[in-house]
C-alpha cells in the first residue's frame, strides 16, 4: 500500500517563524525564508506543523504558507537567489513610483519570468509564490554557483557583521549562532544539522585540536557537563565570527583567547 502524499507548502512571508507548539506564545525554534518549500505534517486551528529542507520541524501559521500547486516553487525554469543582505521587490521596474511590495532576505529564491534587455538590463521580472509578478534589481540577485572556498566563505561571513542576533533566526533579518554557521556551511556545499549540539556531533565533521585550527573550522561552546549551546567559525589569527548576545547582540568577531570563550570552548570541528 502506497503512503499518502505529504502536502507541500511554500513560505510567503519574508521570514516565517517556526514555533515549538501551535501558538504565537510558544518559543521560536527556527525559521524558514521566503520561497522555501516545506512539507506539511499536521494542521491545527490555523497552524501547520512543517518539515524544512534541513529536516527540522516546527509549527508555522497557516497565513505564512501557500499550497505549492502542481510543482515546487522555483524548481523549474530559471531561478535566482538574493545575494544582497536584503532585496526589495517592486510592482513595476522603478524604485520611485511605488513602495516595495515586500523586502526579502539573503538566500531567498525567486522564479524568473523575464529578463528585459531595456533599461540597461537593470531589472528582472519574477513570479512570486503567491502567483503574482514583481520586479527585482539585477544587482540584488545571483545565479547558482559552485560551493565557496574557505577564503570566499570568510569574506561572505564578514558581510553579516553587525546584523542582529535573533533566537531561532536563520536569515539576514537576524541569525542565532547555529543558524549562522549552518548558513555558512550551506554555501560551502554542506547541509549540516540546524542546532549547535547535533552540529558538533554530525558525522560530516572531523575533530580538530585547538592548536591545529585552520580558517573555516567550526567552534562549539557550552558549560562543562552540559550540552553544546553556541557555535562559531574560526577565521584565523585567533579570531572567530559568530552570532551572539555576549557584550552586544549582533554578528561579531571575537578572540578565542578571551577568558569568556576559553572557559566555554568544548570542541573544534572541520568539515570532511
Active site residues: 177, 230, 242
- Cell numbers at 195, concatenated: 542546532
3-state helix, strand, coil in the chain (%, to 5): 15, 40, 45
Cβ pair 229, 223 in contact under 8 A? yes
Helix (H/G/I), strand (E/B), else coil: 254: strand
| CB crowding 220-257: b at 16 or more within 10 Å, else e | bbbeeeeebbbbbbbbeeebbbbbbeeeeebbbebebe
Virtual CA dihedral for 176, 180, 183, 187, nearest 10 degrees? 170
Amino acid at each position: 500500500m502506497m503512503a499518502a502524499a505529504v502536502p507541500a507548502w511554500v513560505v510567503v512571508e519574508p521570514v516565517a517563524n517556526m514555533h515549538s507548539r501551535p501558538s504565537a506564545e510558544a518559543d521560536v525554534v527556527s525559521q524558514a525564508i521566503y520561497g522555501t518549500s516545506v512539507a506539511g505534517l499536521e494542521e491545527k486551528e490555523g497552524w501547520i506543523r512543517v518539515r524544512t529542507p534541513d529536516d527540522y520541524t516546527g509549527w508555522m501559521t497557516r497565513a505564512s504558507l501557500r499550497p505549492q500547486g502542481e510543482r515546487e516553487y522555483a524548481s523549474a525554469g530559471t531561478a535566482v537567489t538574493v545575494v544582497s543582505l536584503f532585496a526589495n521587490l517592486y510592482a513595476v521596474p522603478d524604485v520611485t513610483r511605488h513602495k516595495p511590495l515586500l523586502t526579502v532576505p539573503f538566500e531567498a529564491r525567486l522564479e524568473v519570468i523575464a529578463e528585459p534587455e531595456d533599461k540597461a538590463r537593470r531589472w528582472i521580472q519574477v513570479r512570486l509564490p503567491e502567483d503574482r509578478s514583481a520586479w527585482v534589481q539585477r544587482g540584488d540577485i545571483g545565479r547558482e554557483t559552485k560551493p565557496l572556498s574557505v577564503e570566499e566563505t570568510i569574506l561572505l561571513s564578514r558581510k553579516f557583521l553587525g546584523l542582529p542576533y535573533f533566537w531561532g533566526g536563520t536569515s539576514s533579518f537576524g541569525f542565532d549562532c547555529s543558524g549562522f554557521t549552518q548558513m555558512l556551511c550551506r554555501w560551502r556545499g554542506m547541509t549540516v544539522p540546524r542546532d549547535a549540539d547535533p552540529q558538533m556531533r554530525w558525522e560530516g565533521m572531523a575533530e580538530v585540536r585547538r592548536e591545529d585550527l585552520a580558517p573555516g573550522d567550526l567552534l562549539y561552546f557550552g558549560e562543562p557537563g552540559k550540552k553544546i549551546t553556541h557555535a562559531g567559525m574560526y577565521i584565523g589569527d585567533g579570531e572567530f565570527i559568530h552570532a551572539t548576545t555576549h557584550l552586544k547582540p549582533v554578528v561579531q568577531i571575537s578572540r578565542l583567547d578571551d577568558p569568556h570563550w576559553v572557559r566555554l570552548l568544548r570542541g573544534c570541528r572541520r568539515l570532511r
